[in-house]
Every structure is written in structure tokens, then in C-alpha cells.
Structure 1
Amino acid sequence: MSTTQSERLRGLLEPLVSAAGLDLEEIEVSRAGRRRTLRIVVDSDDGVELDACADLSRVISQKLDETDAMGEDEYVLEVTSPGADRPLTQHRHYVRAVGRLVRFQLHEDGELVARILSADDEGLDLEVPGVKGRKPTARRVAFGEIAKARVEIEFNRKDKKEEEA
């Protein structure tokens, strides 16, 4: 997708996404043969419900029908939330991942798997799990030290809603 089309779509869609109380994470137009797909990725601090994606899809579809932002060719519109394994790239991603186990690729110290305890403007406070019965240890990592980060899927982890109940 050209930068111009990307910027135009973002300018058109971001107010609609914000009005729904969500953050616009990504816009992607892909082509497979003659078929095009417009994929809109949205998120929020509390996650995104399926109904919210469906409602937003209707609003976005109507807005795109009113404009020529996608041109005359047919396309498929997908409004989705980011997968659990999406990379953490922005400050708000780290804030949303507080309490989660994350795999970090550090610029100089290799790989680290730790739970995010808190996030501030400079970096993260982490709890590194103990190995072989040892106690967990605390560690501070500045954002500048992080090359890549991705949430680890935990099948036996209690989520916030379960803990509040």
C-alpha cells in the first residue's frame, strides 16, 4: 500500500476508531490475485470484544462506501484485534501487558523471559522467574535495551476478570 493511501486511510478511519473507544494499531491492504483485503487492527486497554469489532466494521464499511479511499475495485474488510502473540512495539502495548509473561530480545543481553510488574516512561520493572526452585528476582529494563518483545501464551494464567470475581 502506498504511503499516500495508508495516510489517507488512517486519517479517514482513526476518528471512527477513536469514537468507538479503541486505538487504531494497524492498517494493511493486501492482494491475492484479483482479490484485495483491507485489514484494520484495533485494540484497547481492556481488549476488544467481538461485538465491538462487528459494530466498528459496519461503521468503517459505510464510511469507505461514501469515499473513494479504496478505489473502484472490490475488497474484503476485516476489523480485528491483535493476536495474543503480536510484538510489543509501543509504550501502550507494554502498559497493557502488565502482569503478563513476555519474551524479550535484548540488544546486548540476549533473551529474557520475565513478567512485567509495571511500566513507566523510561522502562519496565520485571520479575524474572526462578529456575529449579529458586525465588524470582527483580530486574529493571530500559526501553532502549529492548530489541523485540512478545507476550508468551500462558494456558494456566488467570486473567484480570477471574481475579476480580
Structure 2
Amino acid sequence: MTKNTFMERMSALIQPIVNNLNYELYYLEFKKEGNNNYLRIYIDKKEGNISLEDCESVSRAVSDMLDKEDPIKDSYYLEVSSPGVERKLYTEEHLKRYIGYNVEVNISGLLKGKKKYEGELLDFNSDELKIECEEEDIAIPRDKILNVNLKGDF
């Protein structure tokens, strides 16, 4: 099974549980760090902040399902958390949601002599991301972007 197929299957199993508990599945990852595997589930909600109790509720429900379905053959740790204030923006939906917010964009190589830009996310398309940085609009090619994070100054 390819990594994409595996993640699609995991998302299909986890998404309904998260939704039924009135949360949003913000992002899902399965990573090997050292000798350990981690299934990380990032949850969010439309209004308010994610609490420890929210994470515990999702963790219990997902853990019960994983015990029954047993989709992961290797041992792993299950972690459920909020994506955090300075969350990484992974998807088109994330970018769309945070237009008008301040972001930090890290790029490969240099663009106008810089590897990192901070500013207001103005717009994006399949080719570039536009931010207002120091009162200048900057178009950053998407193929140069390493990551985009929300800045926690709101």
C-alpha cells in the first residue's frame, strides 16, 4: 500500500469520527521518528479553542476504532492535538480560510534576497501565493514554498 493510499484510508476511517464529535479534521500525519511511529491527528472547531478534553474525547473514539479495524500493523503512538496558534497551512482550504491573516512563508532558495517572508495573505492560485510584506505586494511561486504558517499576532 502506498503512503497516499494508506493516508486516504486512515482519513476515511478517522474523518467520520471527528465530524460526529463536532470537530474538524484539520490534518492527519503518520511519521516515523527514531524507532517510533506516530499517528498524529490535528483537530479544530469552527468556534472557540480546542481543549485537552476535546483531544481526549477524539483520542478515545479514534483509539476504539483503530483497535477494532487494526489498519496499522506496526506499533505506533496516537497523538491528538490542536494545530496550534501558529498552525501550518497545508491545504487550499486552509489558505482560503486565512486570507487576510498574517502568515510566515519559508521558501527554498532566495526571492529578492530573502528565504522567509511575513505579511498579510492576500490571495493565492495554483502558481503563486500573494502576501503584503512591508507595504509591498510579493508574489511567491508555489514551487518555491517550503511551508506557510499562520502568525499568532491576532
Q: Same fold (TM over 0.5)?
A: yes
- How many equivalent residue pairs? 147
| CA–CA separation in structure 1 for the residues paired with 2:23 and 2:120 | 25
Q: Provide the rounded CA distance (Å) in 2 between the counterparts of 1:144 and 1:36.
A: 30
Per-residue deviation, 1:28: 0.8
CA positional deviation for 1:49: 0.3
Shift of the 94–5 alpha-carbon distance from structure 1 to 2, 3 Å rule, reads closer
Alpha carbons of structure 1 residues 121 and 46: separation in structure 2 relative to 1, 3 Å: farther
Partner of 1:49: 50
Counterparts in 2 of 1:121 and 1:18: CA distance versus 1, 3 Å? farther
Q: Structure 1: state its 5+ residue gaps.
A: 130-135, 160-165
Q: 1:41-78: CA deviations, max 9, x gaps?
A: 3345657502322221121112112212134x654311
* Bigger Rg, which one: 1
RMSD, aligned CA: 3.6
* Distance change (3 Å), C-alpha of 1:30 and 1:147: closer
Query: Which shows bigger deviation, 59-68 or 39-48?
Result: 39-48
Q: What is the aligned counterpart of 1:147 among 137, 145, 148? A: 145
- CA apart distance, 1:121: 4.8
* 1:127 equivalenced with 2:132 (yes/no): yes
Q: How does 1:1-165 map to 2 (within 5 A)?
A: 3=3, 4-19=5-20, 20-30=22-32, 33=35, 36-43=37-44, 49-50=50-51, 51-71=53-73, 75-84=76-85, 87-97=88-98, 98-105=100-107, 109-110=111-112, 111=114, 113-119=117-123, 121=125, 124-129=129-134, 136-137=135-136, 139=137, 141=139, 144=142, 146-151=144-149, 153=151, 157=153, 159=154
User: Percent identity at matched positions?
Assistant: 23
CA contact (8 A) 2:27 2:42 kept: yes
Q: Deviations over 1:20-50 (max 9, x none)?
A: 33034122153654x5432223345657502
* In 1: Cα distance, 2:38 partner to 2:147 partner: 27
Alpha carbons 2:129, 2:142 under 8 Å: kept? no
CA deviations on 1:109-160 (whole Å, 9 max, x unpaired) are 343523225335566553222xxxxxx23x1536646523433755xx3x3x
Q: Return the offset for 1:106.
A: 7.1
- Listed as ranges, the gaps of 5+ residues in structure 2 are none
Query: How does the TM-score come out when normalised to structure 2?
Result: 0.66
